Structures are given as C-alpha cells and as structure tokens.
Amino acid sequence: MLFLGRKDTQVKIRGQRVELGEIEHNLAMQDKVALAVVAYPKTGVYSNKLVAIIEPSTSIHYTGTGIQPLSHKVLGEIGFDVSVISQRVVQTLPTHMVLAIWIIVEKMPTLPSTKIDRSLVNTWLANVPSDFQPAISSVPNVKPSLHEIPDTEEIAVAISNKIAASMNRGDRTSFQRRDFNIASVGIDSIEIISLVRFIEQSYKVKVSVAEILDKHTTIRSLATLILEKRD
C-alpha cells in the first residue's frame, strides 16, 4: 500500500523519511485498537522518539477532560495487552519505524469534524512530566542490581555491555557487567531488534522479542537461554 501523507505526518528519522500514517494504519489493524495516532515530538521528554497514542476499542466510561492515560491496572481489567500488540508491530515494520513509546488513553481528542485533534495531542506530548509512566517506555527509570557478573560468564557480560551502550541515560555505565531485569530498564523496540541481531550474529541462535521482554528475563537468564539453544 502506498501512503501519500501530509507534510506534517512525514518525519525524518536516522536519515530516512517516515510516513506516520503508515504506522498508524498498522496499529489500526491490530485487535482491540479503536484509534491510533503516531507522533514524533520535537520538544519534551519524548523528543525525537516515535510515540503511539492509542484509544482501545473496549468501551470505557470517560470520566475526565482532555487526554487521560489508562493505568496498567485498568489495561489489565479490560484485557488490553500492549506488549502483544507491540511484538506484532515490531515484526511488520522496518527498524527505523519501530515505536519507542506507547501511551493508552481513555478517549482520543477529536475535532468537531470527528477527526483526531493532532494539534492537541502534540501539545499534550510536549508537556508530559518527566515522571510520567507510559504503557511501554524507552526511558529507563530503574537502577541495576548490585550483583556484578563474573568474567567467566562471557555471554552475560557481553549482553549487559551491549544493552548499556545503547541506553540514553547518564548513568548507563553503571549497567555494564551487571545483572538486571531487561524489561524493567525500558529498552525500546529498536534496541530489542538490535539485541536480537547481535545475539544471532554472535552466538548463531535465534531469541525472540517475546523471550527478551518476558517480565522474568534477566541478563543472566538470557545468557542461559542462549547456551541452551546452542546445545
């Protein structure tokens, strides 16, 4: 399908032109998604990141005004699994079009014409507080465990250093040679794909996105999984 989008829905990421409408179309095809907007803010905590704002198809009583994000608790109650949708999207989009931030809202703002109010969405994103917690985020907000990985665990050390090098945070060096829960540090979809390729090229085994994003997966458990797949 060819997308001829408006100029305000076309952005350049890593030197490649991205049509936001193409990503939105992909999201709209997913189960339980009613409306979707993809933005690439120029300012704010999510500047220069691809952000998805989604209204679920499950009926929710709208209790507030403006854009109201849904908590993880509410998402669980309505059976809206963001990780499942993100994994499907990762498999269908090229690397430079993979979303970094996912925000699920009660109701998408619309204009009198019923079209989505993109201007309001962009203004809201530019003013999101730094402590805001989206459904999936590439902004890490946790510290690694104090458990250092010994030199003998070469695969675990390599993976830890690989993830630390890709982090966009000032204390990323503190994650080197450390064991931590991978999903909890906010590794984004682009970094996950890079990690999957790194593992395949380095160790000749395939590890899925789902295996990496599993809430129980740590650096050392991932290294163990790689060793098991090699045997």
pLDDT values of the chain reduced to their tens digit, one per residue, 231 residues: 333 344 557 888 766 788 899 999 999 999 899 999 999 998 988 888 889 999 999 867 666 678 889 888 888 888 888 878 887 887 787 767 878 889 999 999 989 998 999 999 999 999 988 778 777 655 444 454 558 899 999 999 999 999 988 876 556 777 889 998 887 676 777 788 889 999 999 999 999 988 887 778 889 999 999 999 987
Structural domain including 211 reads: 144-230
Q: Assess whether 178 and 136 both reside in one domain.
A: no
**Closest alpha carbon to 110 in 120, 102, 96:** 120
In a domain, residue 1? The reply is no
The residue type at 22: E
Structural tokens at position 169? 């945070």
**Global pTM value:** 0.61
Phi-psi region of 2 (alpha: psi -120 to 50; beta: other; left: phi over 0): beta
- Whether residue 159 sits in one domain with residue 53: no
In terms of domains, do 112 and 153 share one? no
**31 found inside a domain:** yes
Task: Name the E strands within 91-188.
Answer: 101-104
CB within 8 Å of 108: residues ≥ 6 apart: 34, 35, 37, 53, 55, 116, 121
Axis-axis angle for helices 154-166, 219-230 (nearest 10): 130
Are 121 and 224 in the same domain?
A: no
Query: Which of 116, 141, 166 is the last residue in one of the domains?
Result: 141
